[in-house]
Amino acid sequence: MDFRLPDIGEGIAEGEVVKWLVKEGDKVDENQPLFEVMTDKATVEIPSPRAGIIVKLLVKEGQVVPVESVVLIIDDGNNSKKIEPIYNIEEKKEDNKPDFILIEDNTSNKKVLATPATRKFARDNNVDLSKVKGTASNGRITKEDVSNYLNQDKKAVSQSKELIVIEPTYEKSEKNQKKEFFDEERVPFRGLRKKIAENLLRSKHNAPHFMIADEVDVTELVNFRRDCKDLANKKGVKLTYLPFIIKAVVSALKDFPTLNSVLDEVNSELVIKKYYNIGVAVSTNQGLIVPVMKNADKRSVFDSAKELERLADNTRNGKIDIDDLKGGTFTITNIGSIGGLFSSPIINYPEVAILAVNKILEKPVVKKGEIKIRSMMYLSMSCDHRVVDGAIATMFLNRVIELIENPKFLLLE
């Protein structure tokens, strides 16, 4: 039987085959994991629909394939059909169905041929396909064509995909004049690291970033958290500073709702979210992942702490559910837990702002004409300048600082 990449929901059109968990000739059981696939949301294991023997793996690790593409053949005793490997998905047609959609641009009357995946890539990067020259058969536009269009100022990528040879670096010994090569390692750039790179590039390309930062006196917050820790421990809660900061952020978002929005460029509308789902960046061995705390405005500090611990543990253990990775409206990245004094975060696109929480440091501060030792911290925030002006961002940050510096006010929220 032909096994196709299944539709895993949320409008996901394609996925990257990150790792094969079986090899040709293996006997597999029903529901046995076959491979790991990465989408824009998460990495998931795809199970076998039935028992059988793996006849052919048709996709290489690191290859991106559209949903419903045949990725392997399983001999389940029902005369499996064999097909050729599809190492270039965009040039392959399955079951005589066209792998492109014809679009007519009303302004130029130019007909455009492109796959759904290519059209999505163009849409994500604000590219008008009618202005792109297609290099595939019948003038069809590929993702590479769109990328070349976005980088017209750079050297054009060869359509023959000729291998670029990089000369290794070496030194000559004065004694024997032999080439001594430096020690290097080539690591495939794929999987989560590649997905992160794509998302960051999309954010920087689409959203004109500006950053604002301010210093906050967290002395009272440090004391308040210390006073609450015994009660938190009795409830089995690991209480960090983040639940307090989330509560302050949600309160400020209610006062400045444009920071809890997305820009719908297709319909030229600003979509202001009336719910508060806070993404929290979590560092893993594979890269940064942003699980989302849903309905943060309805949670107590202790409840938020429990949910943060659950999300962080599941993320680091690779057990995070795809539902926990979607629906975010605003993101917080806590670089201070590692030790960063200051940072310039990149927006978690299509959100319009991200707040970085930095290191808490004791230092001398002038308070009412006197020098005192206080616990200080920088907050740095990046915003999409299309939606957020500097004045609004400043007032938002001032509100967050006011609540953090007076943590008991949070109990009134």
Q: Which residues are catalytic?
A: 385
Tokens 């929290």 -> residue: 280
Beta bridge partners of residue 101, listed in sequence order: 114
Helices (H), 87-190: 116-124, 143-150
270 within 8 A of 350, measured Cβ to Cβ: no
* Backbone angle region of 66, left / alpha / beta, with phi > 0 → left and psi within -120 to 50 → alpha: beta
Contact between 70 and 99 (Cβ < 8 Å): no
The CA distances from residue 367 to 60, 143, 213, 216, in Å, are 63, 58, 20, 13
Q: How far is CA 378 from CA 287, 334, 344, 374, 400, in A?
A: 24, 11, 11, 13, 12
Give the integer Cα–Cα distance in Å for 259 and 273: 9
Q: Are 53 and 72 in contact (CB under 8 A)?
A: no
| Integer Rg of the chain from CA | 26
- Contact between residue 1 and residue 55 where contact means Cβ atoms under 8 Å apart: no
Count of alpha carbons within 13 angstroms of residue 242, beta-carbon side: 30
Residues 159, 161, 162, 168: what is their CA dihedral angle, to the nearest 10 degrees? 130
Taking the C-alpha atoms of residue 220 and residue 290, their distance in angstroms, rounded to an integer, is: 29
